[in-house]
Structure 1
Amino acid sequence: MVDLVPIPLGVLVTRLFRELALRRSAFDLPQKFFVQATPGRDLSVSFHGRRVATPFGPAAGPHTQMAQNIVSSWLAGGRVIELKTVQIKDRLELTRPCIDVETVGFNVEWSQELTLEQSLEEYVKASMLIEMLKADGVVTGLDETVFDMSVGYDLAGIRSERVRAFMAGMMDASAVVEKLRAEIPDEWARFRDLAFPTRLSDTLTLSTFHGCPPEEIEKIAAFLLEEVGIDVIVKLNPTLLGRDQLTALLRDRLGYTELTVPDAAFDKDATWTQVTGFVDRLGVLAEKLGRRFGVKFSNTLVVKNHKSFFSSAETNMYLSGPPLHPIAIALVDRFRKVFGDRFPISFSAGIDEGNFADAVALGLTPVTVCTNFLKPGGYRRGYRFFQVLTSRMAELGADDIDTYVIKAFGKAEAALDELGLSPERVATCKAALAAGGDLRTAAGDAFAPWVSAARLLNTAAYAAQVAASSRYDAAEHSTPPKKINSNLVLFDCLTCDKCIPVCPNDANFTFAIPPGETPIERLMKTADGWMAEPIGTLVLQKPRQIGTFADACNECGTCDVLCPEDGGPYLVKPMFFGSRTAFDDAPQRDGFVLERFDDGLRMVGRFAGRVVRLEVPAAGARLRYAGEGFDLTLDPADPAGTVEGTAEGTVDLGYFRIMEKILAAVTAPQAVNFVTAGLEQAATPA
């Protein structure tokens, strides 16, 4: 089992604001890709009656688990942050790798990888970091943000003391905020007095297991509405289309003939009749309680695991990405044909820059993304979503989202005609529409019904458009990333940097080592002293190298899938742990940990399970190099002439030379990474 290790707030603050100052980026997201307010365009929408600055957000998943994920999603324009689903079983053994975006999207991952208590603290950290960024003016004009909880997977678990404590903590995080406030480093003491939000969330998206009985879903939602007192969205499954329609769409129409939905998925999942029944009842209950209720389309689609990428122990996997889009849109259309615009709809299914603006035009809120952020570019892709949306708004002369909804699909007049308004009011609205006037003023109290009618007409139009489109077909998404038939090694690669932005947790990073050749020696004790025998050469050809921060790496496999070379960066490249504890707790992973001690820096390395230690004093040229059977001090410029200490036999300096290079690189004055940020926050006793 590979465990994620939460990164302390002090380290996150140091890394974030040093990186902004030195590189004009945040967690490796360049500042030019931060989504900023567009003058003259109001992108705000209502979510459960709360105003949010944009209709966009990350879906519950790999982009909303760690604090740095959430901050990156926020900088990419997300203002409804659907937090990763938590549950009472928070010590699951998960298989690795667990995510495959070679073509579309598949995963075998369940739930959070942190404890409930850690998850709460991560979400508070993220909220505090966002407030710091706003206070520093890094992003302006898009302030309103909602953190949307996600819990699962059954009523017993959700009613448990620890899950109740998690939800209570999200609704009143004052104790955690005050604890973390004290961890803000002195260098950024200006942030300590910020009025950090303490009510992080009072909305929730319910995620249940595939096959959860409908009566269980209804009981959970009712419990959340009545006893917890929060607004609720229920995430629904793609199997609602029914066996025949879903199979025909997925295999026959879209061409994903290799995918098979297990019979059990249809046999156990709620039917359309059951879902529309409990949705209606929960809507009535929410209205009675003065709460809000909605649905989400859609959950992932369970299919049989036919891929060798995942463990054979996983009989099923979960489909996301492009093929899920037409399935979920068909469900949105079917749902609105039954309920009209009575219930708000959250959406996540194959969202990309080509359909985001369309989904917004249907009045879906939020429109969330997961698989697309796992493609090359990662969080950078969010910037393009907003470029497309604001460009379309400008073309239509729409200054706000509601006006955009009315105009987006050319259904404005048809929607107006459905409202039964007086001829005079209709004429006024059509005149404003033709002249590019203010539709809100022209329509008056009929504006909201006009928007609502447009949402329904847009939905029918878009559903027909998607059904006829080939952009989601298997033929359009069958080409895997190109491989160049070479294997990764510890140093040097294409340095294409694809592995850096695709990592949701920002675990991968670059560091600079000057190219060149360094002789590798073997030291031998002789009767006359020490002798150095050349045994090889360490050759570095590239000016930049790739490393992985172990605490933020869960070996999901995404960087491996997208890397042009074979082997997987997270498995082959230098691995760095954030603490000696994390290093010791992962004996199966080779890598390094850096520690400060009174007289300098210590680097502990593990190579093929063998542990060695390099100590660099604050002053002087002599280094200490020790391991099993040897403990030496030497000057790296003249090892044989300066070495002192003891050794059982010969000592190969290959690991010494590797560690010497890496240590200098990752601690260089301009280096920005979690390793150096951690070193600045704590000193380790000798």
Structure 2
Amino acid sequence: MVDLVPIPLGVLVTRLFRELAHKRSAFDLPQKFFVQATPGRDVSTSFHGRRVATPFGPAAGPHTQMAQNIVSSWLAGGRVIELKTVQIKDRLELSRPCIDVATVGFNVEWSQELTLEQSLEEYVKASMLIEMLKAAGVVTGLDETVFDMSVGYDLAGIRSERVRAFMAGMMDASAIVERLRADIPDEWAQYRGLDFPTRLSDTLTLSTFHGCPPEEIEKIAAFLLEEIGLDVVVKLNPTLLGRDQLTSLLRDRLGYTELSVPDAAFDKDATWTQVTGFVDRLGRLAEQRGRRFGVKFSNTLVVKNHKSFFSAAEKEMYLSGPPLHPIAIALVDRFREEFGDRFPISFSAGIDEGNFADTVALGLKPVTVCTNFLKPGGYRRGFRFFQTLTAKMAELGAADIDTYVVKAFGRAEAALDRLGLPAERAAACRAALAGGSDLRAAAGDAFDAWVSAARLENTVAYAAQVAASRRYDAAEHSTPPKKINSNLVLFDCLTCDKCIPVCPNDANFSFAIPPGETAIERLERNGDGWTAAPIGTLVLKKPHQIGTFADACNECGTCDVLCPEDGGPYLVKPMFFGSLSAFAEAPQRDGFVLERTAAGVRMHGRFAGRVVRLEVARDGVRVRYAGDGFDLTLDPADPAGTVEGTAEGTVDLGYLRIMEKLLAAVTAPQAVTFVSAALEQARPGA
């Protein structure tokens, strides 16, 4: 298994701005899918009293743990970035693969795969990159962004020195920002002087998953509110519906009969009575402290692992995607029956382009996504979310989100009835509704109350709509992606490119090699000289090839699930490491790494565990090819006639032919990848 390796800021900047200039994309997200402001439609809202440019964001998960992921989520319209959950146990041994979105969504991952210190720096780098993109005018009119921390999973861990240091660093990242300024390459030195934010976050979403003791939830939230000085959201679990209602909804109503929620998930989790008690008390505590408090629905759902895709050692897995949507909406409805619109609610459960606008109309904010971004298209899907939302706003004549909330479900008059406004004011509001005039002006200082009442009306209406809908049923989500009974090999495949956008970390990439046939020779000693005996042919049928950048790959398996061929791109396709150290630390994985030398480039390759080296000078045609038992210098066009050096026996040039093709491809002037960016930023011998 390979581990995630943070990509240096200089490499990220080089890759990002080279790609924008040459390919009109960023981390393989085409510029046409960047979410931009829509004239006449203000989609901004508030989160903990802070203005944010959209009500959307990535959920804490695979899209928010690396700097490039966060930037891609931001370009996809996310303005409340719920960062990957961190915890004191930051060196866990995790099983792989860990994500299966063949039908709905299942995973066996835990929390951030980097250390606490690495996580903090990733989030700082992401914030700086976003500021650079703003300064470059790549996205305009949607500036206001909030980074929302997430921590778990018990009081002792959260109170620990290292987790507290992480939170302190997020609240004052000035030292890291100043250190990283110098890492911005000279070509983009104009960005070094930007006024980068140093208070990255003062809000936090508490994850109550993975056995977080129910009796500690209130203590943790109180600690965060009082001692750390944060605004807090508590993320609650689907088990709150209770064993009977949840089982009936999941298995009987939705038809997921193969799924079984273990009894321990209910026994260990907070009950509805416990939750409503501590929510009320924490709300009052937040008010006393001048802070803000809310809840989120919901975490994923623990179910028994019945799938062969995951390791048999994983007895449980976590359900997400479509079936979680009706479960979480039922909880939102129940929560608002209990508390009305007293507490803000953020949401993440089966969000897609078909329900995003509806959940926004409930006043849920932010509405966050994870599983849908793991489907074909990846981050590109965010663009469609906003197309749908702004189209519905235009249809209703709503220029802003609050007006959209009032009008969205046709419950505006029922919401007015809840308020008991004076007859004259109520009549003005109804006239504005009927005539399409400004609802804010008509309602005056009662407008916010009207919006609040509409949220409650819309919740009841939408909960009934979801309960009657069949779009979340198992029958609608039971067909996995089609496989074509073909196995992946190192070169050539369908080149459908599905594996590129579905990777949250942008680990998979494409590169070009001219099609053709190349003879493979074996060099043999012949007296004082050498002879070349043909032993095979390297055949490339397609100009478009796929590779993987190891540092950004955590072997989650998503590209394997969605690939039409068997084998897994991340396991079979050429894997490039970002540094010699990363290459050396993964001896079990074949792959390549490029090293800049004073004379040119050195490429290390590992084939079935055997390491060979290819050195190419900038100013000549001869190359150096070395490995265990041989060290030769030759002209690849005439190896036998030009070879010099030593060898113990014969030398097979098959690996040389593969490496020269790959090296030429990833260092070509038009190549813009993490591989080329890392090589450009490398110092000779580093």
Normalised by the shorter chain, which TM-score bucket?
over 0.9
Q: Give the C-alpha shift of residue 528 in structure 1.
A: 4.6
Structure-1 residue corresponding to 2:237: 237
1:222-233 equivalences in 2 (<5 Å) = 222-233=222-233
Structure-2 residue corresponding to 1:473: 473
- Give me the whole-angstrom Cα distance separating, in 1, the residues matched to 2:682 and 2:3: 22
Instruction: Report the residue type matching 1:134 in the other structure.
Output: K
| Kept in 2: contact 1:80–1:147 (CA 8 A) | yes
Structure-2 residue corresponding to 1:175: 175
- Give me the whole-angstrom Cα distance separating, in 2, the residues matched to 1:489 and 1:385: 36
User: Partner of 1:501: helix, strand, or coil?
Assistant: helix
Deviations along 1:586-622, one digit per CA (max 9) or x if unpaired, are 1011100001000010000000000000000111111
Deviations along 1:16-59, one digit per CA (max 9) or x if unpaired, are 00000000000000000000000000000010000000000000
Q: Give the C-alpha shift of residue 680 in structure 1.
A: 1.0
Deviations along 1:141-182, one digit per CA (max 9) or x if unpaired, are 000000000001100000000000000000000000000011
Deviations along 1:256-310, one digit per CA (max 9) or x if unpaired, are 0000000111111111111101001100100111100000000000000000000
User: Partner of 2:483: helix, strand, or coil?
Assistant: coil
| Kept in 2: contact 1:210–1:237 (CA 8 A) | no
| Kept in 1: contact 2:406–2:412 (CA 8 A) | yes
1:370-519 equivalences in 2 (<5 Å) = 370-519=370-519
1:174-253 equivalences in 2 (<5 Å) = 174-253=174-253
Structure-1 residue corresponding to 2:7: 7
Query: What TM-score, normalized to structure 2?
Result: 1.00
Instruction: Report the residue type matching 2:423 in the other structure.
Output: P
Instruction: Report the residue type matching 1:299 in the other structure.
Output: N
- Give me the whole-angstrom Cα distance separating, in 2, the residues matched to 1:169 and 1:152: 17
| Kept in 1: contact 2:33–2:380 (CA 8 A) | yes
1:540-619 equivalences in 2 (<5 Å) = 540-619=540-619
- Give me the whole-angstrom Cα distance separating, in 2, the residues matched to 1:253 and 1:365: 28
More moved, 416-425 vs 18-27: 416-425
Instruction: Report the residue type matching 2:655 in the other structure.
Output: Y
User: Partner of 1:144: helix, strand, or coil?
Assistant: coil
The answer as to 2:273 corresponding to 1:273 is: yes
The answer as to 2:278 corresponding to 1:316 is: no
User: Partner of 1:556: helix, strand, or coil?
Assistant: coil
Instruction: Report the residue type matching 2:563 in the other structure.
Output: C
- Give me the whole-angstrom Cα distance separating, in 1, the residues matched to 2:60 and 2:234: 13
Q: Give the C-alpha shift of residue 679 in structure 1.
A: 1.0
Aligned length: 686
| Kept in 1: contact 2:560–2:570 (CA 8 A) | yes
The answer as to 2:654 corresponding to 1:654 is: yes
Structure-1 residue corresponding to 2:623: 623
Structure-2 residue corresponding to 1:108: 108
More moved, 90-99 vs 206-215: 206-215
- Give me the whole-angstrom Cα distance separating, in 1, the residues matched to 2:612 and 2:682: 22
- Give me the whole-angstrom Cα distance separating, in 2, the residues matched to 1:260 and 1:668: 52
- Give me the whole-angstrom Cα distance separating, in 1, the residues matched to 2:299 and 2:598: 53
User: Partner of 1:624: helix, strand, or coil?
Assistant: strand
> Where does the alignment leave 5 or more consecutive residues of structure 2 unmatched?
none
- Give me the whole-angstrom Cα distance separating, in 2, the residues matched to 1:182 and 1:614: 32
Instruction: Report the residue type matching 1:554 in the other structure.
Output: N
The answer as to 2:156 corresponding to 1:156 is: yes
Deviations along 1:502-553, one digit per CA (max 9) or x if unpaired, are 0000000000000000000000001151000000000000111000000000
Instruction: Report the residue type matching 1:413 in the other structure.
Output: E
| Kept in 1: contact 2:499–2:559 (CA 8 A) | yes
Q: Give the C-alpha shift of residue 210 in structure 1.
A: 3.9
User: Partner of 2:523: helix, strand, or coil?
Assistant: strand
User: Partner of 1:500: helix, strand, or coil?
Assistant: helix
- Superposed CA RMSD in Å reads 0.7
- Give me the whole-angstrom Cα distance separating, in 1, the residues matched to 2:528 and 2:89: 64
Q: Give the C-alpha shift of residue 399 in structure 1.
A: 0.2
| Kept in 2: contact 1:232–1:294 (CA 8 A) | yes
Deviations along 1:548-591, one digit per CA (max 9) or x if unpaired, are 00000000000000000000000000000000000001101110
**Which consecutive aligned stretches of 4+ in structure 1 deviate over 3 angstroms post-superposition?**
none
Q: Give the C-alpha shift of residue 202 in structure 1.
A: 0.2
| Kept in 1: contact 2:209–2:237 (CA 8 A) | no
| Kept in 2: contact 1:210–1:265 (CA 8 A) | no
Query: What TM-score, normalized to structure 1?
Result: 1.00
Instruction: Report the residue type matching 1:618 in the other structure.
Output: R
Instruction: Report the residue type matching 1:526 in the other structure.
Output: N
- Give me the whole-angstrom Cα distance separating, in 2, the residues matched to 1:615 and 1:630: 14
The answer as to 2:237 corresponding to 1:258 is: no
- Give me the whole-angstrom Cα distance separating, in 1, the residues matched to 2:495 and 2:505: 19
- Give me the whole-angstrom Cα distance separating, in 2, the residues matched to 1:210 and 1:156: 15
| Kept in 2: contact 1:86–1:151 (CA 8 A) | yes
- Give me the whole-angstrom Cα distance separating, in 2, the residues matched to 1:620 and 1:236: 64
The answer as to 2:50 corresponding to 1:56 is: no
User: Partner of 2:258: helix, strand, or coil?
Assistant: coil
Instruction: Report the residue type matching 2:299 in the other structure.
Output: N
Deviations along 1:637-677, one digit per CA (max 9) or x if unpaired, are 10111111111111000000000000000000010000110
Q: Give the C-alpha shift of residue 213 in structure 1.
A: 2.7
- Give me the whole-angstrom Cα distance separating, in 2, the residues matched to 1:137 and 1:310: 43
The answer as to 2:328 corresponding to 1:331 is: no
- Give me the whole-angstrom Cα distance separating, in 2, the residues matched to 1:417 and 1:281: 30
Structure-1 residue corresponding to 2:539: 539
- Give me the whole-angstrom Cα distance separating, in 2, the residues matched to 1:655 and 1:227: 59
More moved, 398-407 vs 416-425: 416-425
Instruction: Report the residue type matching 2:649 in the other structure.
Output: G
Deviations along 1:406-435, one digit per CA (max 9) or x if unpaired, are 000000011011111111001111111111
- Give me the whole-angstrom Cα distance separating, in 2, the residues matched to 1:527 and 1:611: 28
| Identity value in percent | 88
- Give me the whole-angstrom Cα distance separating, in 2, the residues matched to 1:260 and 1:71: 37
Q: Give the C-alpha shift of residue 684 in structure 1.
A: 2.9
- Give me the whole-angstrom Cα distance separating, in 1, the residues matched to 2:659 and 2:19: 24
| Kept in 2: contact 1:211–1:270 (CA 8 A) | no
Structure-2 residue corresponding to 1:289: 289
| Kept in 1: contact 2:33–2:76 (CA 8 A) | yes
| Kept in 1: contact 2:90–2:112 (CA 8 A) | yes
Instruction: Report the residue type matching 2:468 in the other structure.
Output: A
User: Partner of 1:509: helix, strand, or coil?
Assistant: strand
User: Partner of 2:499: helix, strand, or coil?
Assistant: coil
1:121-132 equivalences in 2 (<5 Å) = 121-132=121-132
Q: Give the C-alpha shift of residue 209 in structure 1.
A: 2.8
- Give me the whole-angstrom Cα distance separating, in 1, the residues matched to 2:162 and 2:258: 41
User: Partner of 1:567: helix, strand, or coil?
Assistant: coil
- Give me the whole-angstrom Cα distance separating, in 2, the residues matched to 1:584 and 1:625: 19
| Kept in 2: contact 1:483–1:563 (CA 8 A) | yes
User: Partner of 2:500: helix, strand, or coil?
Assistant: coil
- Give me the whole-angstrom Cα distance separating, in 1, the residues matched to 2:393 and 2:297: 25
Structure-1 residue corresponding to 2:369: 369
Instruction: Report the residue type matching 1:272 in the other structure.
Output: W
Q: Give the C-alpha shift of residue 212 in structure 1.
A: 2.6
Q: Give the C-alpha shift of residue 314 in structure 1.
A: 0.5
Structure-1 residue corresponding to 2:76: 76
| Kept in 1: contact 2:209–2:299 (CA 8 A) | no
User: Partner of 2:589: helix, strand, or coil?
Assistant: coil
| Kept in 2: contact 1:234–1:294 (CA 8 A) | yes
User: Partner of 1:158: helix, strand, or coil?
Assistant: helix
- Give me the whole-angstrom Cα distance separating, in 2, the residues matched to 1:210 and 1:453: 35
